[in-house]
C-alpha cells in the first residue's frame, strides 16, 4: 500500500471538518423544519459531494440513505445543467430515491466564477405526505402512480430564485401544502448553510489543496475498507431468506445473495441472482435501497468513525437483477421497500457474511419496523386524525453478548412517541408498552426481546399494518435458536381476539384494542444449560 502524499494530520483535520459541514446542514434542517417527522423522529440526511458527484461526507443520520443519496445526486447532475444559484429537487425512487416521501434537494457549490461546481451538497427529508391514494403516502398500493407525486430531477430554484411554478405544482399534489412548503424551504436553507461553509473552506485552504485533500480522503476511506476485506477468507458465501408476503397474495418472497471475497485484491462482489421477481404489493426494493443495505453492512465492519465517502464502496461491486424484488422497475409500488425489505436485505447479507466471518456479525434482528397507521374521526372534537408509528423489536444476539431488546436496528433509528403525548393528541388509551419476554432466540447469547404495544381506540378507527416476520422467524447463528415471530391481534371489547395478517387494513370499533407483539432477535451459539 502506497504511503499517502498528503500528510496524515491535514487529512484528519479535513475529514473532521468536512463531516461537520454535513452535520451542520442536518442541524439546520432539524432546527428549521416544521414537521415532527423530521424534528422528532429525525428522518432525514445531509451530505457533501465533490465536483464529480462522489460522496465525501455524510452526517450520522439515516442509514437507509447512505447509498441512495449519491445516486440521487448523480441522477440530478446527469439530467440537469446546474448553474450557480440553481437547486435540483427529486424524489423518484427509480432515480436514486428510496420511496416517494423522501424528497432530495441538490445544490451545486461554485467558487469564484469557476466553470463547474467544486462541490455539491444535498439534503433529504421524509415528508409526512406526498399525495397518492392514502394519507401519509405509505399505504398498500399496487403501482407507483398510486403512491403519490413522482418528481423527476427538475430545478426548484434558478439563479437563486425559487421556481414558484414547480413549487405550486408539487404543493397542489399533497394533502398538507403549508407544512410541506415549510419543510422544503428548510431543506433549501440547509443546502445554503453547506454552501457557505464549503466556500469558507476553499478560502482557507485554496482550491488546489482542497482537490488534493478530497482525493486523499477518498483514497483513505478505500484503504480502510480494503484493510478489512484483506482479512476476509477467499471464496463465495451464499445465503437466502424469505419475506412473509407482499400483502396481495400470501406467497413468500425469496431474497438470495452471494458475497465473493478476494483477499488478494482486497475486494468483494455481491450478487443477488436467485432473488424472486418484483411483486404486485408495495414492498419492492429499488436498486438504491439494495445498494444502501450493502453499504450499511460493509460500513459496520469498520470502526465507528470511518467516514461515509464514495471511497468506501470502491472495492465492492453489486449486481441486482433487473425487475427482481431487489431492483424493481416501474411501475412497481415501492413505499414499503424502504422500511421492510431494506431490513431483510441486511439480514440476508449478514447471514452470508456469517459464513465468512462468524465472529463479526449478529444473528437476525426483528426484521420489520411494524409500521402502524391509525386513522379516523376524533370523538373529542370531530376532527379527522391520522397517526403513524414504527415499533422496534429484538436485536440479534452478538458473538460476544446478548442482543439488545426493544430497539430499532440497522436501516432505521427513529424515536417512539411517548405514551402520555399520544393520549393527549389522539383518541387512544395505551394498555401496555413492555418487553416481550422470551421472544429472543435462545443461545449461548440470547437474541434481544421484542416489544408489546397495545392501543385501545376510543372511537371507531381504521388500522393499517405493514409488517413482516409474522410467518418466518428471525434466524439464529452458530447454533443459536431463531427469534419468535411477531403477532398482531385485535382484542375486541368483549374479550374475543382476532389475529391479523402481516399486511392489512381493518376497521376497529370504539373500545377495541390493537396489540402488536414484535419479533425477537435470533440467538447466537448453542444454548448451554446454565442460561436456560
* Segment 385 to 404, residues that bind other proteins, using CB under 8 A: 391-392, 398, 400-401, 404
From residue 4 to residue 43, what is the string marking binding to other proteins with x (rule CB under 8 A)?
A: x--xxx-xxx-xxx--x--xx--xx--xx-x-x--xx---
Q: Which is nearer to other proteins, 237 or 426 (CB)?
A: 426
Q: Cβ closer to other proteins: 408 or 503?
A: 408
Q: Is 361 in the site for other proteins (CB under 8 A)?
A: yes
What is the nearest approach in angstroms of other proteins to the Cβ of residue 492? 19
Query: Shortest approach of other proteins to residue 92 CB, angstroms?
Result: 26
3-state secondary structure 330-348: CCECCHHHHHHHHHHHHHH
**CA distance linking residue 459 with residue 45, whole number of Å:** 37
- Residue among 238 and 431 whose Cβ is closer to other proteins: 431
Per-residue binding letters, 169-188, with other proteins (x by CB under 8 A): ---------x---x--xx--
Cα(39)–Cα(91) distance, integer angstroms: 20
Determine the size of the site formed for other proteins (CB under 8 A).
Answer: 75
For residue 328, the minimal CB distance to other proteins (Å) is 26
Q: Could you say which residues in the range 91-150 bind other proteins, by CB under 8 A?
A: none
Cell numbers standing for residue 288: 438504491
CA distance 514 to 490: 5
* Per-position b or e across 223-260, b if 16+ CB within 10 A of its CB: ebbbebbbebeeeebbbebbbbbbbeeeeebebbbbbb
Binding to other proteins (CB under 8 A) within 305-324 occurs at 305-306
Min CB(412)–other proteins separation in Å: 9
Nearer to other proteins, 234 or 425 (CB): 425
CB of 374 to other proteins, least distance (A): 16
Contact 253, 243 (CB under 8 A): yes
Tell me how far, at minimum, the Cβ of 197 lies from other proteins, in Å.
9
**Cα distances (angstroms) measured from residue 436 to each of 446, 469, 477:** 13, 15, 21
Q: How many residues does the chain have?
A: 532
> Could you say which of 248, 407, 489, 504 contacts other proteins (CB under 8 A)?
407
Residue 245 C-beta: closest distance to other proteins, Å: 26
Q: Give least dist CB 46 to other proteins, A.
A: 12
Selected range binding other proteins among 145-153, 165-173, 411-419, 459-467, rule: CB under 8 A: 411-419
Closer Cβ to other proteins, 355 or 429, answer by number: 429
Sign of the torsion angle spanned by Cα atoms 335, 415, 373, 473: positive
Q: Give the nearer residue to other proteins in terms of CB position, either 404 or 461.
A: 404
The interface region with other proteins, picked from 137-145, 220-228, 286-294, 460-468 by CB under 8 A, is: 220-228
- State the cell numbers at 503: 399486511
Which triple of cell numbers denotes residue 137? 403516502
242 or 302, CB closer to other proteins?
302
Q: What single DSSP character describes residue 502?
A: S
Is the C-alpha dihedral spanning 307, 27, 164, 169 positive or negative? Answer: positive
Residue from 110, 134, 220, 524 touching other proteins (CB under 8 A): that is: 220
Residue-wise DSSP of 144-169: GGGT-----SEEEEETTEE-HHHHHH
Quote the cell numbers at residue 531.
442460561
Which of 32/245 has CB closer to other proteins?
Answer: 32
Tell me how far apart the alpha carbons of residues 106 and 117 are, in angstroms, rounded to a whole number. Answer: 12
Stretch that binds other proteins, among 236-244, 283-291, 409-417, 465-473 (CB under 8 A): 409-417
Q: Is 530 in the site for other proteins (CB under 8 A)?
A: no
**Contacts of other proteins in 419-478 (CB under 8 A):** 419-421, 423-425, 429, 431-435, 451, 454
Stretch that binds other proteins, among 1-9, 43-51, 142-150, 522-530 (CB under 8 A): 1-9
Among 111, 162, 300, 316, binds other proteins (CB under 8 A): 300
48 to 87: interface string for other proteins, x by CB under 8 A:
------------x--x------------------------
> Which is closer to other proteins, CB of 172 or CB of 434?
434
Containing H/E element for 12? helix 8-32
Determine the Cα–Cα distance for residues 389 and 411; give it in Å rounded to an integer: 16
Q: Report d(CA 187, CA 196) in Å as an integer.
A: 15
Tell me whether strands 316-319 and 267-271 are parallel, antiparallel or unpaired.
Answer: parallel
Q: Site for other proteins (CB under 8 A): which residue of 44, 120, 287, 296? A: 296
Residues 6+ apart with CB under 8 A from 502: 244, 245, 247, 465, 466, 467, 468, 469, 470, 471, 488
125 neighbors 44 (Cβ within 8 angstroms): yes
Amino acid at each position: 500500500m502506497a504511503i499517502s502524499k498528503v500528510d496524515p494530520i491535514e487529512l484528519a483535520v479535513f475529514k473532521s471538518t468536512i463531516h461537520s459541514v454535513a452535520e451542520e446542514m442536518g442541524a439546520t434542517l432539524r432546527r428549521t423544519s416544521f414537521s415532527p417527522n423530521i424534528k422528532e423522529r429525525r428522518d432525514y440526511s445531509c451530505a457533501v459531494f465533490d465536483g464529480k458527484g462522489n460522496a465525501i461526507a455524510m452526517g450520522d443520520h439515516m442509514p437507509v440513505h447512505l447509498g441512495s443519496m449519491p445516486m440521487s445526486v448523480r441522477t440530478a447532475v446527469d439530467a440537469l445543467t446546474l448553474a450557480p444559484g440553481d437547486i435540483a429537487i427529486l424524489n423518484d425512487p427509480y432515480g436514486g430515491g428510496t420511496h416517494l416521501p423522501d424528497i432530495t434537494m441538490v445544490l451545486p457549490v461554485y467558487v469564484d466564477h469557476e466553470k463547474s461546481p467544486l462541490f455539491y451538497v444535498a439534503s433529504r427529508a421524509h415528508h409526512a405526505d406526498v399525495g397518492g391514494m392514502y394519507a401519509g403516502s405509505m399505504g398498500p398500493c399496487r403501482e407507483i402512480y398510486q403512491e403519490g407525486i413522482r418528481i423527476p430531477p427538475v430545478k426548484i430554484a434558478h439563479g437563486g430564485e425559487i421556481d414558484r411554478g414547480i413549487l405550486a405544482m408539487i404543493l397542489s399534489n399533497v394533502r398538507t401544502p403549508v407544512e410541506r412548503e415549510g419543510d422544503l424551504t428548510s431543506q433549501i436553507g440547509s443546502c445554503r448553510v453547506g454552501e457557505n461553509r464549503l466556500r469558507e473552506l476553499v478560502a482557507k485552504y485554496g482550491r488546489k489543496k482542497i482537490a488534493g485533500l478530497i482525493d486523499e480522503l477518498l483514497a483513505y476511506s478505500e484503504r480502510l475498507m480494503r484493510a478489512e476485506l484483506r482479512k476476509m477468507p477467499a471464496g463465495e458465501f451464499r445465503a437466502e431468506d424469505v419475506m412473509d408476503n407482499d400483502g396481495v397474495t400470501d406467497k413468500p418472497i425469496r431474497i438470495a445473495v452471494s458475497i465473493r471475497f478476494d483477499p488478494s485484491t482486497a475486494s468483494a462482489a455481491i450478487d443477488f441472482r436467485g432473488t424472486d421477481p418484483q411483486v404486485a404489493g408495495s414492498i419492492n426494493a429499488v436498486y438504491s435501497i439494495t445498494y444502501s443495505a450493502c453499504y450499511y453492512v460493509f460500513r459496520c465492519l469498520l470502526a465507528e468513525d470511518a467516514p461515509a465517502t464514495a471511497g468506501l464502496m470502491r472495492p465492492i461491486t453489486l449486481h441486482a437483477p433487473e425487475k427482481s424484488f431487489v431492483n424493481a422497475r416501474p411501475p412497481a409500488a415501492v413505499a414499503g421497500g424502504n422500511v421492510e425489505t431494506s431490513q431483510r436485505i441486511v439480514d440476508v447479507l449478514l447471514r452470508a457474511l456469517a459464513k465468512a466471518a462468524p465472529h463479526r456479525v449478529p444473528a437476525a434482528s426483528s426484521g420489520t419496523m411494524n409500521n402502524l397507521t391509525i386513522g379516523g374521526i376524533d370523538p373529542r372534537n370531530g376532527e379527522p386524525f391520522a397517526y403513524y408509528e414504527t415499533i422496534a423489536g429484538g436485536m440479534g444476539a452478538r458473538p460476544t453478548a446478548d442482543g439488545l431488546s426493544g430497539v430499532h436496528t440497522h436501516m432505521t433509528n427513529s424515536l417512539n412517541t411517548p405514551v402520555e403525548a399520544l393520549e393527549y393528541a389522539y383518541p387512544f388509551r395505551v394498555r401496555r408498552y413492555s418487553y416481550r419476554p422470551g421472544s429472543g432466540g435462545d443461545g449461548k447469547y440470547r437474541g434481544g426481546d421484542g416489544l408489546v404495544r397495545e392501543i385501545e381506540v376510543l372511537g371507531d378507527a381504521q388500522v393499517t399494518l405493514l409488517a413482516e416476520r409474522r410467518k418466518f422467524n428471525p434466524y439464529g447463528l452458530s447454533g443459536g435458536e431463531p427469534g419468535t415471530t411477531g403477532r398482531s391481534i385485535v382484542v375486541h371489547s368483549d374479550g374475543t381476539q382476532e389475529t391479523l395478517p402481516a399486511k392489512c387494513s381493518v376497521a376497529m370499533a370504539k373500545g377495541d384494542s390493537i396489540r402488536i407483539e414484535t419479533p425477537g432477535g435470533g440467538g447466537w451459539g448453542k444454548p448451554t444449560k446454565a442460561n436456560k
